Structures are given as structure tokens and as C-alpha cells.
Amino acid sequence: MEKKKLSLPVQILVALFLGIVVGLICYFTDGASFTANYLKPFGTIFINLLKFIVVPIVVLSMIEGIVSMGDIKKVGSVGWKTVVYFLVTTAVACVIGFIFAVIFNNAGLFPALSLEEGVVWEKATSADFMTTLVDIFPTNMWTSFSSATMLQVIVISLFLGGGILAAGEKAKPFADWISSVYVVFEKITAFIITLSPIGVFTMIAWVVATQGTEILGSLALVLLCAYLAYIVHAVLVYSLSARLFANISPLEFFRKAGAAMIFAFTSTSSVATLPVSKQAAASLDCDEQVSSFVLPLGATVNMDGTAIYQCVATVFLASCCGIHLSFGQMAIIVVTATLASIGTAGVSGAGMIMLAMVLNQVGIPVDMIMIIYGIDRLFDMGRTSLNVAGDISCAVCVNRWEAKKAAKAAK
């Protein structure tokens, strides 16, 4: 008889549940050191693998994205409006996420854990704006890669992508090579992701065994914080832009975008939701030409929900390891999370991998991700739904601006 394989999300949930059970047993039987010595190392292996793919994935996907926009000049007018809309709404999303995270943190709702066993991290140092600005520009490409300094890695990717476009025909073999290597890394990523149940089981068992039941309440709180921010962003930003820019009532917008948002909620992939988003945009009278440019681009680079999640998770994890974030670091997080969300692929769980980049940037140990890894699917459902709503909202606004421009030109 053929065995039925559980889907990955179900495997992760089972791993989470078993990990909590084992963690609680160890907590109540003084077995925390067992989890630290024999379970956590497997979680660490998983984390190491995640860290290993982050840099190549960021570089390759950003270059791919830029190269595929090669004819952006042709779509110039739609292109720049779209990009400005994406950037502004994502930055607003980061700020909203931050405000909620800081409120929760200041209200003492995020825990400070005592993870003395085996976790070593450098305290984040505060940096002023000008130093940060200078530090974004690399002096040595390989050093940036090997130290995973993500803002530098992004700048390098932008240069490489721009260089390929500028070089034109001659750079085609290089662009093809990048595409091919990207496919290879996507396969490796997919394989590593299949190992996540092991990572989830071992790490959550260790966290619960060393921290006790308190951590479970904290996870519920950080989830609540992210969802409050998701909702506020949707209501504030998308309602306003629908009303002000697209002349559509917010109710109508959400009613018609609803199916795509629900589909995104269950599929946790903006890319997989594309066909449904297209229908939603059409039902909101968005021109096919505009939506077929804006929506695929949005599904790859516009991630407001992911940006919120990354800000909330970063503040939460900083609190967990007792790092007090300075104002400068918060600004860095907003910038990095905006960029990280752009670099996030529109597939399930990608935002969590990119979170490593934000954490790196402010000196929070990437291992901390495992604390929230087990419930990532729950974050992902909400953030993907928001990501998709953001894409549709952009499409209807740009559509309206273009229509106005055409009407003016016709006069």
C-alpha cells in the first residue's frame, strides 16, 4: 500500500506540537541540558544551512529581477509609478509594524529570555546615520559576501543587475549563467526547507525546555502584534489609496479583492495567487495592460505584510536576547526590512528566510529565528494576504493615474 505523505505545513505543525510536548517534559523533569546537548545541535545544523543560502539567494534573485525588468523604459510611465507606490507603502508598512512592536515591547509583553546555554551573540552596537550610509557601500565584494553584510550585498546586486542591463547583448551569457545558478539554488533552498520539521522540533523543544511555559504565551502575543499591524495597514493604507487615488470605496475594494486575499491566506504564496489577483483587479475595472505589469512585479517585490512581519519579529527577537535597540538601529531595521521584503520571493515561507538578513544587519543572532520558526505559517498566512492586497491596490491606483493621463493627453 502506498503511504500518504504529510504536506510540509502539516509536518511542521506536528513537529511544533511534538517539540512543545518534549520540551515541557524536559522542563518539568530537569532535562533542559539534554535538549541543549542532543537536540539543539540539529536545529543549529538547519540554521547553518539557512544562513548558507541567504546570500546567494538574495544576489541571484535581485539580479534576476533587475534583468527581467530590462524593458522597463518601454513601460516607463507605469513602471516608475508602480515602483514609487511599492516603496512608499512598504516603508509605511514597516513603520506601522514598528509602532506596534515597540508598543508591545514597552508594555513588557515581549519576553527577555535567559538563553545562556550555547547561544553567543555580540551586543548590537548603535550606529549613526552617516556611518550607516557610508557602510552600505562595499570596498570588497567578497568580504561583503563572506560576512553577509546584507545592505552591501544588495548594493552589489543592484550594480551587477544594472551592469548587465547596460552591457546589453554582450552580457547575455552572464545573465543566462545567473539564471541557471539561480535555478540550482532554488532547488537547494527547496531541499533545505523540507528539513524544517527537524529544525522546528529540536529548537522548540530546547526553547520550551529551557524557558518553560512562559514562552508559549509570548508567541501568541507576537502573533497578535503582527496581525494588529496587518489589519491597521490594510484599513489605513489600502482604504485610503482606494478612496483617494482610485476613487473606489474601501468596502468595494475589499469585497472584490477578498477572494484573492483569502486564497493568499491559505496558499501563503503571492505568486500562486496571481491568477486570482488578476481576476480581482479586472473586477475592479483595472486595465489588463496595467494589471499584467503591476501584479507579477508586485508578487515578486511588493511585500507589505512581509515588511511588517520582519519589523515585528526583529523587535521581538531583540527583546528575547536582551538587546535594546537604539533609534539609529530602528531606522536601519526599517530600511533593511523594506529592502528584505523586496528581495523576498512570493512563495511560502520566503519572508522568514529573509528575516535572517534583517537580524544580521542589527547584530541579532540568526539562531533566534528558531523561536518563531514553528509558527511561521501563521504569520505567513496574514502577511501573504496583505502582500496580495497591496499588489491589487497598486494596480487599481496606477490604472486610474494612467487613465487620467490619457484623458488629459486626449484633450
- State the amino acid at position 369 in one-letter form: I
In three-state secondary structure terms, 57 is helix
Report the residue number, 113 or 357, with the smaller CB distance to ligand ASP.
357
Q: Does 347 bind ligand ASP (CB under 6 A)?
A: yes
Residue 407 burial by Cβ neighbours in a 10 Å radius (0-12, 13-18, 19+):
exposed
Q: Among 340, 313, 263, 354, which Cα is nearest to 90's? A: 340
CB 221 within 8 A of CB 373: no
| Least gap, CB of 193 to ligand ASP (angstroms) | 11
* Piece in contact with ligand ASP (CB under 6 A), picked from 134-142, 157-165, 286-294, 377-385: 377-385
Q: Which residues contact 127 (CB under 8 A, 6 or more apart)?
A: 135, 328, 329, 332
Counting contacts by CB under 6 A, is residue 349 touching ligand ASP?
yes
Check residue 300 for interaction with ligand ASP (CB under 6 A). no
- Looking at the Cβ atoms of 26 and 347, the one nearer to ligand ASP is 347
CB-CB contact of 78 with 290 (8 Å):
yes
Among the listed residues 40, 278, 383, 400, the single contact to ligand ASP using CB under 6 A: 383
Residue 393 binds ligand ASP, judged by CB under 6 A: no
Give dist(CA 333, CA 307) in Å, integer: 10
From 59-67, 153-161, 278-286, 344-352, span contacting ligand ASP (CB under 6 A): 344-352
Q: Which of 105, 218, 241, 268 binds ligand ASP (CB under 6 A)?
A: 268
Judged by beta carbon, residue 152 or residue 310, the one nearer ligand ASP is 310
- Stretch binding ligand ASP (CB under 6 A), from 102-110, 206-214, 280-288, 380-388: 380-388
In whole angstroms, give the CA distance from residue 39 to residue 27: 14
Candidates 4-12, 17-25, 78-86, 347-355 — which segment interacts with ligand ASP by CB under 6 A?
Answer: 347-355
Question: Does residue 384 bind ligand ASP (CB under 6 A)?
Answer: yes
Shortest separation between residue 380's beta carbon and ligand ASP, angstroms: 5
Identity of the residue numbered 191: F
State which residue, 35 or 270, has the beta carbon closest to ligand ASP. 270
Which of 19, 296, 346, 390 is the binder for ligand ASP (CB under 6 A)?
A: 346
Q: Distance between alpha carbon 2 and the CA centroid of its chain, in Å?
A: 37
CB contact burial 76-112 (16+ within 10 A = b; e otherwise): eebbebbbebbeebbbbbbbbbbebbbebbeeebbbe
Q: Which of 64, 287, 304, 380 binds ligand ASP (CB under 6 A)?
A: 380
Sign for the CA dihedral angle at 124, 130, 133, 137 comes to negative
Interface with ligand ASP (CB under 6 A), residue from 246, 294, 303, 372: 303
In this chain, which stretch among 179-187, 195-203, 226-234, 343-351 interacts with ligand ASP, using CB under 6 A? 343-351
When asked if residue 306 is in the footprint of ligand ASP (CB under 6 A), the reply is yes
Residue closest to 245 by CA, chosen among 383, 394, 120, 133:
394
Binding residues vs ligand ASP (CB under 6 A): 268-270, 303, 306, 344, 346-351, 380, 383-384, 387
